[in-house]
A and B are shown apart, each in its own frame.
Chain A
Amino acid sequence: METAASPDNPIEQVAVVSSRLLRLLEVPRHGSYRDDAGDARDYRDFVEALGVAVYTTDAHGVITSYNTAAAELWGREPEIGKDLWCGSWKIYHLDGVTPMPHDQCPMAICLKEERPVRGIEAIAERPDGSRIYFRPFPTPLYDDVGKLAGAVNILVDVTESKQAELASVHLTAIVHSSDDAIISKDLDGVIQSWNPGAERIFGYTADEVIGRSIRLIIPAERQHEEDAVLARIRKGEYVEPFETVRRRKDGSEVDVSLSVSPIRNRAGEVVGASKIAHDVTERKHAESLIRYQKEALEMVTQQAPLGEVLDFMVRAIEGHSRSGMTAAIHLLNAAGTHFVSAVAPSLPEAYGDATEGLAVDSRSGPCCDAVLSAQPVSTVDVAQDRRWPQFAEFALPCGVRAGLSVPIFASRGDVVGTFAIYYREPREISPEDEALIGVVTRTVALAIERRQAEEALRESEDRFQQAARGARLGAWEWDLDQKLVWTESLQEIYGYGPEEFPGTIQAFTERLHPEDRESAFELVNRAVDERSELDFEARIILPSGEVRWLQSRGQLVFRADGAPERMVGVSMDITERKQAEEAARTAIEQSIAMKDQFLGLVSHELRTPITTILGNALILLRRNDKLQEDTRRQALSDVANEAERLQRIIENLLLLTRIDVDEHVDAEPLRLQPLIAQTVEALRLRNPRRNVEVSHDEELPIVQGQSELLALVIENLITNADKYSPPESNIEVLVQANGRDDVEVCIRDYGIGLDESDIEQVFTPFYRSARAKSQAKGIGLGLAVCKRVMEAQGGSIRAVARPDGGSDFIFNVKRYREDDE
């Protein structure tokens, strides 16, 4: 601010006029003017009327007068005739810190040096602490003889202009030091000012651009933005910050955030615009990295194959890096001993070929070292690096000259792979790339780990599914309304193909057997109402028409407020169990029926001979003397035969219950011919009309068995043949050696014969063929006993239905061998 003592300065004029006036008014030499003098009063009125602070001192600096404005400026009323130099409480230099002693203030200088002092400004501090910037105009006063009489000082309050000046200085400093570009332009877009920030961001110096159009830094395709901006500015509107692209001097583009405000003159007219451009390149850069990571994580969430996710990450950071590096991700096997796959889309195939399947060995390369040390490993020049002699061999042709390998850690802390960045030329690792890889590696680790967890889960689910399929078991979840979720295995049980089950309760109902629907729903509703466990069995009908039994168990799941929310459970195909139960029930029923039948048969078979024996015995007792001799003999003979018959039946029954299927009886060497002969003779006695023919090899080997048992078999078979063939037909007994081990006995009749179905069952206890039932009485015990007896002796028995009618019952007996004993 100009402070020169120019005669044009109105304050200066006031000072001069005032000093002259004082002189004219004959200011008393001793520094006080006469208060009774009318002139003095006139002066005081004049000074008060001036409105500026005025005071006077005598030649020694003692304040002799001051006006109201001066007292206001000082914030105090100094003591006339006592206070020296200045009425201020405290005075500071303009820096606001250095105190200015009163005896060095401009007034003091003026008196001591007897000259007007101009151009010094100072700060007066009031007792209340407030400060006033003031400019003093101290002027010496002389008496008539020209001797210094004192001085008059006019203090001009410059606080407001001083503050404005300071603000302007600050503003300039701010504009100058701002990182942002601050540019002003006129309404035609001509650049008026250009700060160093603008120089830095756009590359032009102020000299180069001031006076040129702002359109210089606007890319062709964004020129319309300036039209819009200027249109708004002309209307006096502020342009909200917007992000755009501007062009640097070197032609490259820079992302900026712009805000533009109108500049007005004192009259308030818009005369131009100030524009602040903030460089958002770094922020955009950082944002794009976040975006890549977000995208990668989304891919992971959407279960994209891991290879795709990693490929995306590698390409993303290659695009993101400003160093032109290439990147690669290597995955380790579970044991951490080998690299199993490499994702390196920008590197030659040879790189992947060389690294896939590579054993982790400290001499192989930086990635191996990174795995082994669990630390980042870098090299500034592969060609010069002595650590990995073989690495350079394949790395250099792949364009790998320098690089950094960072281990990828799973959350448990083990290394699951490495992330590598490479440069084509020898160089230090870019700190930006290093930071980048640090950030991205965490995302990659997450992707890998998530995938591994998913695979593990899928495997365990697969195993469960397989187990569930094997067990014909499936799980379900019902929302207590219409929605039903079934596991795949359950859908299979219900006969739904993949994707066929619509997931509704309706679909379940449709498959239910109509007879079971009502009871099933009653049970389900009861479980929900009573909050009890659900357990029911119901039939379902598959699309093929097949009916299957399912057992379902379910349990309610409750919400936090205690209300039932859904029901979860399992269903199991129990068809086989049901069938087994059914079969068991049938078997039991049959065995009960068989027992009744057995009792009936046994009673009949036992009681009939007893009746004959008892009846004959009673007749002989009571009427012996009246009977004819031959009648008596017949009766006695019947008694004997029937007693034998009883004996045979009892023997068979006992044998059947005594000999189990797997039981073996002691065998002894014996000959078959006598046994056969005895049995045939016994039959001849019982039924003299029956013709039995026995034929056998001349030399029959000795067999091993128990004679009583074999006799029973022969007797049973011959008795059967007698029972089930016409009285006049022959019975043949054929005995021959069968191979080296056996002797075969065939009892042949020409009787009722056997059906194919009989062959199967004829040896089952109590089984009697339809033909046999119509032919003769019996309990179906004989053949069953034969079979057990033969098997217990290590032999066998079978039945053959001959085409000419009649049956062959053939049993094999083991030949006797001495070494068997």
Chain B
Amino acid sequence: VAAAASQSPPRVLVIDDDQALLRMLRLSMASEGLEVETARDGVEGLKRLDANPFDVVVLDLQMPRMDGRTFFHEIATRDHPPEIVILSAYGAEQAKRELKVAAAVPKPFDPDDLIATVRRVAARKATSNTN
């Protein structure tokens, strides 16, 4: 199973309203071999999800238009929802407990740590799906 997961790289959607942050995450993830797409808010994120399946969504909580929580509840009812990794500058752990998501990463962070978290979450998802 682990081999199968490693064979196809995880598909990751990063949602954050900060352009510079998105650029940095795309750069770091892509350079580590992840398939990355980005969205600037929840609304755009939902469109991307509609268009393509993702293993993991890296989600910022504080965003204009549709914030992270609203987005989370939107996708929670879907079939095979992606795993969520929360990015937050404030209260990331609390949000993780509250929303019962796979992981939360407080800002600022080492991009390699985030990538490791995303891989781990994606691998667990793959395992649970096969089982």
Contact = CB atoms under 8 A, between A and B. Distances in A.
Interface of A: 599-600, 603-612, 614-616, 618-619, 622-623, 626-627, 631, 634-635, 638, 641-642, 773-777
B63 interface: yes
A631 B27 contact: yes
B17 A607 contact: no
A555 to B, nearest CB: 54
Interface in B39-82: 62-65
Q: Please name the 8 residue pairs, one residue from A and one from B, whose CB atoms are nearest each other, closest first.
A: A607-B89, A611-B108, A604-B89, A603-B90, A607-B107, A615-B24, A638-B20, A603-B89
B21 interface: yes
Contacts of A616: 24, 27
8 contacts: A603-B90, A606-B89, A608-B89, A612-B20, A615-B109, A619-B27, A619-B31, A774-B64
B69 to A, nearest CB: 13
B64 A641 contact: no
Given A604-B89, A618-B112, A634-B23, A776 B64 contact: yes
Contacts of A641: 20
Interface string B7-42: 000000000011011011101100100000000000
A606 B31 CA distance: 26
Interface of B: 17-18, 20-21, 23-25, 27-28, 31, 62-65, 88-91, 106-112
A608 B87 CA distance: 10
A629 to B, nearest CB: 13
Contacts of A600: 62, 89-91
Interface centre among B20, B27, B109, B111 (most CB of A within 10 A): B20
Interface centre among A604, A641, A773, A775 (most CB of B within 10 A): A604
Contacts, number: 87
B21 A611 contact: yes
Given A606-B89, A609-B20, A618-B28, 20 more contacts: A600-B62, A600-B89, A600-B91, A603-B89, A604-B62, A604-B107, A605-B89, A607-B107, A612-B18, A612-B23, A612-B24, A618-B110, A618-B111, A619-B27, A627-B27, A631-B27, A634-B23, A635-B27, A775-B64, A776-B64
Given A610-B108, A776-B64, A615 B18 contact: no
Interface centre among A599, A614, A641 (most CB of B within 10 A): A614
A40 to B, nearest CB: 166
A493 B27 CA distance: 74
Contacts of A615: 21, 24-25, 28, 108-111
A616 B110 CA distance: 10
Interface centre among B21, B65, B106, B112 (most CB of A within 10 A): B21
Contacts of B112: 618, 622
A608 B111 contact: no
A607 B17 CA distance: 14
Contacts of B109: 611, 614-615
Contacts of B27: 616, 619, 627, 631, 635
B23 to A, nearest CB: 6
Nearest to B112: A618
B24 A638 contact: yes
Interface centre among B27, B63, B91 (most CB of A within 10 A): B27
Contacts of B25: 615
Contacts of B17: 776-777
A622 B91 CA distance: 29
B111 A623 contact: no
Given A600-B91, A775-B64, A777-B64, A619 B107 contact: no
Contact of B111 (A607, A619, A631): A619
B108 A777 contact: no
Contacts of B31: 619, 623, 626-627
Contacts of A611: 21, 24, 89, 107-109
Given A631-B27, A635-B27, A604 B20 contact: no
B107 A608 contact: yes
A753 to B, nearest CB: 16
Nearest to A620: B27
A618 B31 CA distance: 12
A779 to B, nearest CB: 10
A727 B108 CA distance: 28
A415 to B, nearest CB: 88
Contact of A774 (B23, B65, B90): B65
A777 B25 CA distance: 19
Nearest to A616: B24
Contacts of A774: 64-65
Nearest to A773: B64
A618 B28 CA distance: 9
Given A603-B90, A614-B108, A619 B63 contact: no
A96 to B, nearest CB: 137
A611 B107 CA distance: 6
A135 B67 CA distance: 155
A604 B87 CA distance: 10
B18 A608 contact: yes
Contacts of A605: 89
Interface centre among A612, A618, A622, A627 (most CB of B within 10 A): A612
B60 to A, nearest CB: 8
A604 B89 CA distance: 5
Contacts of A631: 27
B74 to A, nearest CB: 16
Nearest to A641: B20
Contacts of B24: 611-612, 615-616, 619, 635, 638
Interface centre among B18, B110, B112 (most CB of A within 10 A): B18
A783 B63 CA distance: 20
Contacts of B107: 604, 607-608, 610-611
A612 B21 contact: yes
Nearest to A638: B20
B109 to A, nearest CB: 6
A151 to B, nearest CB: 161
Contact of B23 (A606, A623, A638, A777): A638
Contacts of A608: 18, 21, 89, 107
A776 B19 CA distance: 12
A638 B27 CA distance: 12
A695 B113 CA distance: 50
Contacts of A634: 23
Contacts of B88: 604
Contacts of B91: 600
Contacts of A627: 27, 31
Contact of A599 (B20, B63, B90, B106): B90
Contacts of B62: 600, 604, 777
A607 B108 contact: yes
A775 B67 CA distance: 11
A615 B106 CA distance: 13
Contacts of B20: 609, 612, 638, 641-642
